[in-house]
Amino acid sequence: MVEAWLVTLMQGYNRESYEQRAGYLAQVHMPGHVFQSLIWWALQSLPDEILVGIDVDAQRPHRVEVEDYFSGDEVHKQLFQGQGYTIKEAHIVNRGDSYSVHHLPEDWTDDMFSADRGSRAGRFTHWLHTHPNAPAIPSGPDADAAQETTGIDMILGLRFSPEGPLPWFDDVEGTRRSMKAPEKTKKPRKRSFFARHALPVLGKAPSGHSIHEIQLIGFHKSGVGVNIIFVDDAGLPYGWDEGNNKMP
């Protein structure tokens, strides 16, 4: 089950993905339940960053009407491996500092996942790593590590509290894709100092953390952005109007 607050955020993110489609040459469809797992794992692994390997489902191509709807004027059909197929599952393969999340652990062996990954075990199509309490913007080493990726790289940035040893670090330049609480238009009543300075809470994680902001970006090693669309079990985007085949 995907939490209701996360569904709402994914609807908003999808709407933005549609509005910004002209800026992307390709897209990847990510099931909501996989994304929820990624957020929970990221928070359970604090203060470490995690490196996650991601496979696509060769039986589940993107739905054509959805792919068409989110396509910009310019589309690159063969930009990366696994393109056109929905994400299937994710596995944590390493954790640690920002160095660790660019490398497979030394004890990594191909039979580690042989039971559920078949003969092509060992290498994943896509990779994702986390930026705890920092924006989802690639660093220089992130861009270097992406050069070995056959699919795409993704970065999940989370702002949360209690923040532990990782205060929010925001001094980074780059394009952002954020999931935030909608701006309140109602004029605030007189509130206490603490209430005025409190961050809005999007939701609570099983780890007990309050989540204030979620950022997610996808990019190809050439440096171009890849648009991520959140889909349900039927392969339809959250917020999709099935009668009219569009985002309302």
Residue numbers at the binding site for Zn ion (CB under 5 A): 142
216 alpha carbon, distance to own chain's centre: 4
Least distance between Zn ion and beta carbon 136 (Å): 8
DSSP string, 122-161: T--SEEEEEEETS-S---HHHHHHGGG-SS-EEEEEEEEE
Residue nearest to Zn ion (CB): 142
Write down the least CB distance from residue 139 to Zn ion, Å.
Answer: 5
Q: Which two tokens stand for residue 94?
A: 């390493």
According to DSSP, the β-strands at 153-161 and 49-61 are unpaired
- Nearest CA to 37 out of 63, 6, 75 is that of 6
CB of 127 to Zn ion, least distance (A): 11
Residues 6+ apart with CB under 8 A from 149: 80, 126, 127, 221
Q: Cβ closer to Zn ion: 98 or 207?
A: 98
Least Å distance between CB 172 and Zn ion?
10
Considering the complex, state which of residue 43 and residue 231 has its C-beta at the smaller distance from Zn ion: 43
Which residue lies nearer to Zn ion by CB, 86 or 213? 213
Shortest CB 48 distance to Zn ion, Å: 13
Cβ distance to Zn ion smaller for residue 142 or 213? 142
